[in-house]
Copies of this chain bind each other. A is one copy, B any other.
Amino acid sequence: MYGLMQEHALALPLVFHRVERYFGHKRVVTGRVGGETTATWADVCARTRRLAAVLDRLGVPGGARVGTFGWNSQRHVELYLAVPCTGRVLHTVNHRLFHEQIRYIVDDAADDVLFVDRSLLPAVWPPVASLKSPRHVVVMDDGADVPLPDDPRILDYETLLAEVTPFDGEFAIADENAAAALCYTSGTTGDPKGVLYSHRSMVLHTLLLLMVDTFGIRERDVVMPIVPMFHVNAWGLPYAAMMCGADLVLPGPAMRPAELISQLERHRVTFTAAVPTVWRSLEPLLAGHDLSGLRTIICGGGPVDDALSRSYQQAIGIPLTNAWGMTETSPVVTVARPATVHDGLDPDARRAVIGSPGPAAPLIELRLIGEDGSEVPWDGTTPGELQAAGPTIAARYVGEERPGPAFTDDGWLRTGDVATIDGHGYVRIVDRTKDLVKSGGEWISSVELEGAIMADPRVAEAAVIGVEHPRWGERPVAYVVPKPGADLTPDDVREHLIAHVARWWIPEQVLFIPEIPKTATGKFAKRQLRLQHRHDGPPAE
């Protein structure tokens, strides 16, 4: 027996027509070096209707991938709307990847057209110039003083928009399971893998972000996604802002800490989100700025370092809020929040609650699987591999005929993260499966060890990797970046650790380097550290 409700596809045209109809008066601000551009959502929607006509004019077939290399910008938002609402697939690519990775991804996705911010041409053109697949490369002129390649495929975004008659109908996607967007994983642990989102998964993910107990995005918000729009759709924030009519502030190429913090201040941003490295780089600037408009700072994609969060709490009154997710999970799965059971905790304990991933959003199911393959209890201490299921979670990677080893036989995603979950469903990430250090038969969490090292005020950054050891199997090695001017020795680091971790966790090798190598999304590139350690041997202490 079936319900008698309307068949109505959960598809991105719902987002477009809502922002166009209800929120035309709200704003989209895009930063550029030395200035910014302000538009209304009405402007953005009108230009999206032009862009839809441009895609037709360029002959982009339905279902074809449209690749983008762009900063967080209004034009990128126009692509977020026009590409999926017309039945093509939005393929955002990280311009900070190595050339060979860019070439591999654009080729693998068989992008029919590329849209590239002019300032990114130097990074993007060399790897793609010789590819056959993109029939056109549309340059979005952001004022960068960069020569245009002499190639017949090069077109100009604004010229194309000016030439067409805007599409004036209703966008419609008949099947909510149609592909809407494609994004590759960060490539932290191996080659990037493609995740193909459906309209349904993207609309459901958008709804999740509007709930009080997740991000709580609302009409009154001024949302500034610092997390790049090529990184899992800026965690879905542009779509959430459109669905509820929030103002959107996009940094564009103005991504230096001083530029970011002045945007946060100037627009009285209420909600912002970025990976830990960004918040670490802004911390020294907090004192000089009025950030009293902020209600929530999401620090996601990696662990929150408590020392850093305390600095934020002291400087501007709010700590960092952690969220956990993956490219494979759309990405938001958990968002930290103090529940009624946490009432009465002191500020440090509250900050710790907000600084770990928190409970899963509605619709998403989690479980922890132990080494013997059975579920482990949610007791807050027993670790297991975190697995996820739900309509916003990938079923397999692009190019896989059938789900590969990242998926279980019953269809759940194996996240590759080791976690604990407490009795109230609060997740803590112990480590990546691949980053855990197994020493003398026992596990050491590289993440926890890094946090303990970074709790030392003389330390700017620290990354821990496991290296082979004849007696213990593996031992942790710490790479440490001292704060500028700090007077720090390896012994100081070890001494500091005595109060924070078990004795046998303390690394014999503490190595100072000027900077921790990062992946293109700003994570510690441990794969690179491991290669380097194997290749060079440890740098002199």
Contact = CB atoms under 8 A, between A and B. Distances in A.
Nearest to A181: B3
Contact of A395 (B5, B18, B210): B5
A195 interface: yes
A350 to B, nearest CB: 14
A6 B362 contact: no
Interface stretch (A125-133, A198-206, A438-446): A198-206
Contacts of A218: 211-213
A197 B5 CA distance: 6
Given A5-B198, A200-B5, A341-B25, A363 B213 contact: no
Contacts of A177: 2-3, 5
Interface in A21-46: 21-22, 25-26
Interface string A411-428: 101000000000011000
* Max chain B Cβ within 10 angstroms of own Cβ: one of A3, A341, A393: A3
Contacts of A10: 363, 391
Contacts of A210: 211-213, 362
Contacts of A206: 362
Nearest to A25: B341
A529 interface: no
Taking the full assembly, how many copies of this chain does it contain?
2
B178 A1 contact: yes
B1 A89 contact: yes
B3 A219 contact: no
Interface centre among A213, A398, A411 (most CB of B within 10 A): A213
A4 B196 contact: yes
A387 to B, nearest CB: 12
A207 B89 contact: no
Nearest to A65: B1
A197 B2 CA distance: 9
A85 to B, nearest CB: 15
Nearest to A407: B6
Nearest to A89: B1
A15 B300 CA distance: 26
A462 to B, nearest CB: 34
A365 B9 CA distance: 12
Contacts of A393: 5-6, 8
A244 B362 contact: yes
A286 interface: no
Contacts of A213: 210, 218-219, 244
Given A6-B393, A341-B25, A207 B211 contact: yes
A379 to B, nearest CB: 13
Contacts of A5: 177, 196-198, 200-201, 391-395
Interface size class of A (residues with CB under 8 A): 35 or more
A89 B2 CA distance: 10
Interface string A329-341: 0000000010111
A88 to B, nearest CB: 9
A337 B244 CA distance: 12
A10 B391 CA distance: 8
A513 to B, nearest CB: 39
A399 to B, nearest CB: 10
Given A8-B390, A389-B6, A14 B179 contact: no
Interface in A187-225: 195-201, 203, 206-208, 210-213, 216-220
Among A18, A201, A341, A413, the one with the most B-chain Cβ atoms within 10 Å of its Cβ is: A18
A517 interface: no
A208 B362 CA distance: 12
A180 B2 CA distance: 8
A315 B219 CA distance: 29
Contacts of A394: 4-6
A207 B233 CA distance: 22
Contacts of A21: 378, 425
A178 B2 CA distance: 4
A303 interface: no
A63 interface: yes
Given A212-B218, A213-B219, A217-B212, A424 B1 contact: no
Contact of A243 (B18, B340, B362, B378): B362
A197 B3 contact: yes
B207 A212 contact: no
23 contacts: A2-B196, A2-B198, A3-B179, A3-B200, A4-B198, A4-B397, A5-B391, A5-B393, A5-B394, A6-B395, A6-B413, A8-B391, A22-B359, A22-B424, A207-B207, A207-B211, A207-B362, A212-B212, A212-B216, A213-B218, A213-B244, A219-B339, A220-B340
